[in-house]
Amino acid sequence: MKSIAAILVLVNCRFQNTFAFQVSVPTAKPQRASSCHVLHDTISDVQDVLKADYPIFFKLVMSKNSDIWKSLNKESSGGFTIFAPSDAAMESLGTKKLNQLLDDRNREAAEKIAAYHVVSEPVGAWDLLNSGGVRTLGGDVKVGKSKVGDFFGFGGKEDGGVLLNGAKITQTREIDNCILHETDAIISPELLWRYMDQLRIL
């Protein structure tokens, strides 16, 4: 009987020791500050790329909207997407519209245009191609497939390209956890230009 009791005591002690060991193992917790720091670095890297490769778009549109960058820094820990019109695309707007973007009276309209070029999560070209639409910080943007050989929008064959409100994605690159799509036109609605040269958007 003593040997059986001794065995039970030994088993019980081993069980308690094992249980105590399992409970005392520290669990890894995500470092929130670290992820925020990484995102801040990503935003800085993206801004540097925009300044270098898309200077007109950055100067006239993105640099005027600090709220967008603040919002991304707070809410987009998983990354984000930027649609950046090339300099040629911006110049195709014409002198009048470029001057309107430069005019500080049109800051609210420029901020709204900027918001249509940002998505608060990373979205690749393939995801866009099969989506039918994407929700930007400014609102919904229609997504379509580009065609070659069409005549005024009729006929033609799909060439695998992506259209955003009629603007075509010409190239895509990843910057840290951001996806940057270059486009051959701005993608914000034409309606926004009606609010230029006014003190406020009603």
Class of domain 30-195: mainly beta
Which segment, 30-39, 63-72, 131-140, 152-161, is predicted with the most confidence on average?
A: 131-140
More confident call, 5 vs 49: 49
63: closest CA among 119, 102, 116? 102
Nearest to 43 by CA among 18, 67, 65, 70: 70
Mean pLDDT of 144-160: 59
User: How far is 36 from 74, CA to CA, in rounded Å?
Assistant: 8
In the predicted structure, residue 103 carries a pLDDT above the cut 70 = yes
Give pTM, 2 decimals.
0.74
| Structural domain boundaries in the chain | 30-195
pLDDT digits (tens, 9 = 90+) for 73-82: 877 678 999 9
**pLDDT grade for 121, boundaries at 50, 70 and 90:** very high
Distance CA 122, CA 100 (A): 30
| Percent of the chain with pLDDT strictly greater than 70 | 71
4, pLDDT greater than 50: no
> If pLDDT is split at 50, 70 and 90, which confidence band does 84 have?
very high
pLDDT band of 161, cuts 50, 70, 90: confident
Q: Read off the pLDDT band of 55 (50, 70, 90).
A: very high
Looking at the DSSP bridge assignments, the partners of residue 180 are 82, 173
More confident residue, 164 or 3: 164
Which pLDDT does position 126 carry in this prediction? 86
Sheet holding 178-183, edge to edge: 118-119, 80-85, 178-183, 167-175, 157-164, 140-148, 133-135
